[in-house]
Structure 1
């Protein structure tokens, strides 16, 4: 049976029922008040999960106050668990509303005589230092505890001092002298000094304190030459330099000094590790000559051979990070440069790790030269070295990561210079064919080799075509299922360039389908759908829909079968005429309508198929618009203009009205195509989590709608379509450079070439090529025939099947009605304070394609409609506010004036715009809608947030009725 790998469980753990936050909080509260310490501990440790599930301030504030009470009156054992909750709930601490009360309950334990209780209090206060950075009494308690004679309390004070120094400038200045005296003091044990030194890395809040801390680090390096002291001190000073940036050159020089002069290998290793962290800050911060010293040191290590292989790898790691900067590449691109010479020698090292790191540096310099249009030196050496490493590393499963790096470099070089594609395709293809098929470990190498070939093959058409015989042979020999799936995907990519399937390729696919399980059949069908091979996908989905036990999965596969059968019905080669085109379009429309119904039946609260349903629905609407346009074109012959058409055209001052009914029908088709394009734009804006290829797919389909609307508008007149199209360049459409998207771009170019000429382009032409003539309508029919032929293979986007990035917004609107379903009551003449809270939730891969920069909250108020009036009351006011989420939480407030003539207002500091047309006077029931839209880091608005609707009833007070 097929396993679709859908999580059928809810967010609660096994054995726990789904609860609302109040019920869960009441149950935990019962556990806290239990007389059994085990139940108390169980209740405490469940709070972090409750915070993650319901991260709203009211719940978090109430919960942490209760935990603070437990900390105040409980035993040290319970205090340990409360401390763990505070440490695990760091991102929710900002939502504590009563911070003073929370701190008061925790801090009261400091008056205890138990040093362990005091130590736990200090650690708890340190874990919440972010919300109480400037509490003076806490600062004094930490300072006093540092002079305590109990070791447990002193260690806790050191932990708290480190946490507060990272948050508070005043505390860092206040404690700098104290920490310095303790470190310099002879009475302080060496182990305690090692714990105190890391506090110095947070003394970066002002220049004087940072300078004092840096001087102390330099003094410690001279006074305490022991290896452990040197490592801790160098780490503290490096972190301090990274925060201030002004000390980075001096710190790099210091680390290079220890690397070159200190004989201890542990110090050299640690210095290289710290140099690696400073290299991430940027090569432009390194002093002049520092890279040259590192290259000389690395050259010496390379000459020593295998004795210092660990140091050599770490040195190359640092240079590799520096090579990511254009500064390094620009300064070392000349032939014979020391860095080029070093990497050229290291490329042929017997250690594969050293060789891969060296070739990575050379490849980055090469790519930089290609991108900047600079002369490239030694490209043949880089290419040959990559070829050799790919063939060598594919033999051993131990170097799988290094093999991936080499393949990524190959793809990158092919992207910047397509002339190298054939070379790497031959090298990777031959390696794939020669891989031992009987060894199960080699399946991983074969998979990554196939992925690299797919990435290179997507850069253009016919790149992988020379590998077709070898791929077919490999498909017959390999016993590994995953490799078979990847090889089938490569086969789909090759044929996607406009070729037809031959018998040998079809037999190879059939033999693979018979030898694999249902899940991998689904993967093959999914790949065939994404590359437009819908006949193969239809056959597979028809088999798979009966191999699942879940009703939702059955409807999902049935919808896929209907959708792919609709597309394959369009791809059938039949005699081209208008009757066959209508038949094909009607057949595809009926199948798409059934597919939309199946996708709705397959949707569940856990797995929402909104995108799949909308995508199929829009495709169906587009085909319906094409059928209507085809019937409109044929009506030029079937419905000739009536006798008074010329008179009506003269009266309406519209010359095209003399052609009769066809004019209005064509103009109606223009509106339908424009509406379809607008709906594609709405679908685009709702796909915040979609990958770039899926967005390009939607953009291409929208472009087809606009092209057809533009063509029809040139025939029947009317307002022009506000768009401009490129002439004949595939890349000018901006659909991406993948094979399937290039096919859509070519289809757009063919549609544009068949478009009828506009009246403005034919001022001197005959009447046959102007107005609504048979010739121009014939051009429209040619465009329709092309869209319903095998020349347009619809590639279904990846987002239709997979969501690699998951982002959702949860809204909570206050006030809520006391009884669910009833409206909120507001006296007439008063204002409604509306508070909107929200939480962002992410999947495993947050911000993979784009990240959330802000949330745009829109409040729309619709007044009650008056039944006595003939016209509908559309007097709707809208308020908008942009808020920036803090640790995935955001809140904003609005003040609504209902039942009065005053405009609404916004409460908040980050107001974007406020547009209001006022509210109608009098009472009634208003509809208040709160919607959330996402703003990404580029400022684009994605309309994918939720909507919350609330009914508000405005009523007159009894006293006012008596007065009137």
Structure 2
């Protein structure tokens, strides 16, 4: 075919089915056995990607044994690439099953007469030191190679010694004297000594060795005052101090001495770099007076002028890290403290880097004082300085990074003290509005200003309302697309605070939508849906769904258009009279339900293996179920008038001992509605547990909708009786789902629903028109246009991605056939799994453990909807190691029945269904049922019995 390059090692061609692990390994094995060096190299370099794609021990063990064979019999050129594979696959090395065989094949090259081959062997052994830390023969070879006369071999031995010293306590202690003698020896070249000194940083396994290394390094600092030796030795001492912790104070004092006394700028910079790393260990480990000495040196640098600006910035970096600790803030919050005086002076530095660092430190101290309820001295100076810096930094596009730093400090200060919101909104808003398209402001700077306004606006109601006229003017003036999108988002946020759209705002949005591209239109519609402005989002999605080339995107946009259309249909006004309102609300609910049903179908059509849209589909289905429950509740309330109690109602009351049965059909209907609402709340809880990668705002959205279901179920049970009556008073406090505008709106809605709940009856309860009218009022509130449903962010995008891949063995030899197990024996089931992460791993929560559940369904219950009480369920919790986990189970299937009353055909054989499912446990102990399910068919057969001879 024209334009297609044939490649035997292609992992997955465009439009071709993805290979399995065995096929990919067979193709790479063919390349290893090729007679062409180029094909061998191409096969070798593809192994790291194969390990990432299929990180299972059997494949990795087989692959690395093949590479070890190539290393043993191949050329030095091939050995270099095998070394690179071992270095790139460090986290998969502990999955090698035959470690002895792997090391034997690699180690056999150490006896070669070629020093380059021996050097490559040492480097390869050093790269796999994590799995062979205590191999005495390797330790002996490294020690012997350190005495070699070939420089290449000696450098390789130094590399291997450093790798083994980091892994093995025995090797580090035994090599300490050898390394010390080589460093002190006159015959060792200076370049080699510089390579040997970093090995000393791993000699921290016992007190005597650490003390000896510390003395040696101090001796080197006096004997070798060259810049390279000082920097390397100080780095080794700092790493050693971080490992032992008890020597941190002494190392900080030593670094401060070099900072004060050594006139060389490179040494000062390196000392500040090491102080920065030690500051991350914690300010409580620093000796008393160390911060004062550092502040004194900073004051001297500040007085010297601009010649030492780099050192001043590095010093402020160290102080900024220390200011993150409450110890530093508490010790320097008094008026006139050296740290406050230094930062106040540095805030007015002509260098923006210095000014931003100083004001960041001051803002952190002020936030600490606000959070602890202490007087914040100089807080007004911090506010004034931040205002000035924001205005000045917004004038030049080169200072975008510094501008973002100031805006972050501004948002944190507003979070700690909400009274500052008005001041900063005026300052940032004026800066944003006064920038002209012809000025030097870039799109990034205006977007950063808009993001800061949005963050501050979410902290309180109506915080951005004074900026509304200016935002409308700015929308007409700006030419940057991203700025237009952010300004529209601010407009959505303002109106979401409880206001209605006017003609001017709608016209401004319409003009922006006409002037931007398709991606910007989608972002505007997404923001409108997230803030509950569904009419605007519907119009934009309707125009976009016919402008895309992909079928999946068309169905996705169609689903979004139907979802927003359903919500906008609920927000339409109904007739004024009561009967008209009741009939209108039913029509609105039915229209919204039909649109949601169509949206679910569109989202299923838009799903692909790479983008399943599972959350969006389930969220839409649950919303549809909730609206159906509300419609059913309205019909149940109407049955109080349309279905009077039958003549036998008194007999039913006496038979059931339920006084509420005297009201007839309405009692059963209301209890059915309460059950449906309870079921919907449980489904929301399941959706919550499946959204491991969701952001906190999306999870809060699910909790709010779940709480609405519970409130409605409790209200219905108040009227018709049920378990919810006794639990209704458990939640009497204010609802709090987050600080954002849309979550506060949902919290107010929940509070209003609870306020409209029917009153409790003290005389056993009664289904009266008054109490049923309260239920109708609650439904009118939820579906009568007064509540805007904000679509959560996770509905559109996931900021973190975590997936679990399971592999269950044994597997049938022929695909589709069951695994055969003799009756009376046990099945050894092994479950292996791999955690896969996206670009932002553990952004909101991380995986602490994985819970594997094994359920066994007998033959008689495989196609039954009823749950078997005798179902065999096993669980095991495993902790992943480098994103890999494995566990084993022993299952007893087909045990013969015992006892005269047991049917021997039930458990004596047949085909069982074994299901393995994975759940994720985060660091807080929460269980997230978001893992995959793997099903295995097992056939239990009877072995033929042997006849006894007569």
Q: TM-score, normalised by structure 2?
A: 0.96
C-alpha contact 1:875 1:920 (8 A) present in aligned 2: no
2:614 to 581, 596, 610: 610
C-alpha contact 2:801 2:841 (8 A) present in aligned 1: yes
- Write the distance in 2 (CA, Å) between the matches of 1:603 and 1:265: 59
User: Following superposition of structure 1 onto structure 2, how do residues 794-943 of structure 1 map, counting pairs within 5 Å?
Assistant: 794-865=789-860, 874-900=869-895, 921-943=907-929
Q: CA deviation at 1:955?
A: 0.8
User: Following superposition of structure 1 onto structure 2, how do residues 431-580 of structure 1 map, counting pairs within 5 Å?
Assistant: 431-439=431-439, 441-576=441-576, 577-580=581-584
- Quote the residue 1:593 is aligned against: 597
Relative to structure 1, the CA distance from residue 725 to residue 569 in structure 2 (aligned partners, 3 Å threshold; closer, same or farther) is farther
SS of the aligned residue for 1:672 comes to: helix
Equivalences, count: 932
User: Following superposition of structure 1 onto structure 2, how do residues 651-730 of structure 1 map, counting pairs within 5 Å?
Assistant: 651-720=655-724
- Quote the residue 1:628 is aligned against: 632
- Write the distance in 2 (CA, Å) between the matches of 1:961 and 1:123: 65
SS of the aligned residue for 2:170 comes to: helix
SS of the aligned residue for 2:820 comes to: strand
- Write the distance in 1 (CA, Å) between the matches of 2:796 and 2:866: 46
C-alpha contact 2:735 2:751 (8 A) present in aligned 1: no
- Write the distance in 1 (CA, Å) between the matches of 2:797 and 2:813: 41
Relative to structure 1, the CA distance from residue 111 to residue 705 in structure 2 (aligned partners, 3 Å threshold; closer, same or farther) is same
- Quote the residue 1:752 is aligned against: 754
Q: CA deviation at 1:274?
A: 0.3
Q: CA deviation at 1:263?
A: 1.1
C-alpha contact 1:862 1:874 (8 A) present in aligned 2: no
- Write the distance in 2 (CA, Å) between the matches of 1:142 and 1:520: 61
SS of the aligned residue for 2:304 comes to: helix
- Write the distance in 2 (CA, Å) between the matches of 1:375 and 1:354: 26
- Write the distance in 1 (CA, Å) between the matches of 2:250 and 2:264: 22
**Cα offsets for 1:225-248 (capped at 9, x unmatched):** 111100000001101111110110
C-alpha contact 1:198 1:232 (8 A) present in aligned 2: yes
C-alpha contact 2:574 2:585 (8 A) present in aligned 1: no
C-alpha contact 1:898 1:919 (8 A) present in aligned 2: no
Residues 1:59 and 2:59 aligned together: yes
SS of the aligned residue for 1:854 comes to: strand
**Cα offsets for 1:265-289 (capped at 9, x unmatched):** 1111110000000000000000001
Relative to structure 1, the CA distance from residue 869 to residue 586 in structure 2 (aligned partners, 3 Å threshold; closer, same or farther) is closer
- Write the distance in 1 (CA, Å) between the matches of 2:811 and 2:742: 50
- In structure 2, runs of 5+ residues without a counterpart are 1-9, 899-903
C-alpha contact 2:897 2:908 (8 A) present in aligned 1: no
**Cα offsets for 1:291-341 (capped at 9, x unmatched):** 010011101111111011111001100000000000000000000000000
Q: Which has the higher contact order (CA 8 A, sep 6+)?
A: 1
- Write the distance in 1 (CA, Å) between the matches of 2:892 and 2:275: 61
Q: CA deviation at 1:826?
A: 0.4
Relative to structure 1, the CA distance from residue 949 to residue 309 in structure 2 (aligned partners, 3 Å threshold; closer, same or farther) is same
Q: TM-score, normalised by structure 1?
A: 0.95
SS of the aligned residue for 2:167 comes to: coil
C-alpha contact 1:534 1:567 (8 A) present in aligned 2: yes
User: Following superposition of structure 1 onto structure 2, how do residues 36-435 of structure 1 map, counting pairs within 5 Å?
Assistant: 36-435=36-435
Q: CA deviation at 1:541?
A: 0.5
- Write the distance in 1 (CA, Å) between the matches of 2:865 and 2:454: 63
SS of the aligned residue for 1:166 comes to: helix
- Write the distance in 2 (CA, Å) between the matches of 1:900 and 1:169: 52
**Cα offsets for 1:903-928 (capped at 9, x unmatched):** 9xxxxxxxxxxxxxx99741111111
- Write the distance in 1 (CA, Å) between the matches of 2:721 and 2:947: 60
SS of the aligned residue for 2:754 comes to: helix
1:958 to 930, 944, 949: 944
Residues 1:786 and 2:745 aligned together: no
SS of the aligned residue for 2:80 comes to: helix
- Write the distance in 2 (CA, Å) between the matches of 1:857 and 1:269: 51
Relative to structure 1, the CA distance from residue 504 to residue 818 in structure 2 (aligned partners, 3 Å threshold; closer, same or farther) is same
- Write the distance in 2 (CA, Å) between the matches of 1:947 and 1:209: 52
**Cα offsets for 1:622-660 (capped at 9, x unmatched):** 000000000000000000111121221122111110000
- Write the distance in 2 (CA, Å) between the matches of 1:13 and 1:300: 63
Relative to structure 1, the CA distance from residue 73 to residue 18 in structure 2 (aligned partners, 3 Å threshold; closer, same or farther) is same
C-alpha contact 1:438 1:478 (8 A) present in aligned 2: no
Q: CA deviation at 1:723?
A: 5.0
- Write the distance in 2 (CA, Å) between the matches of 1:952 and 1:233: 63
Q: CA deviation at 1:790?
A: 2.1
- Write the distance in 2 (CA, Å) between the matches of 1:919 and 1:287: 78
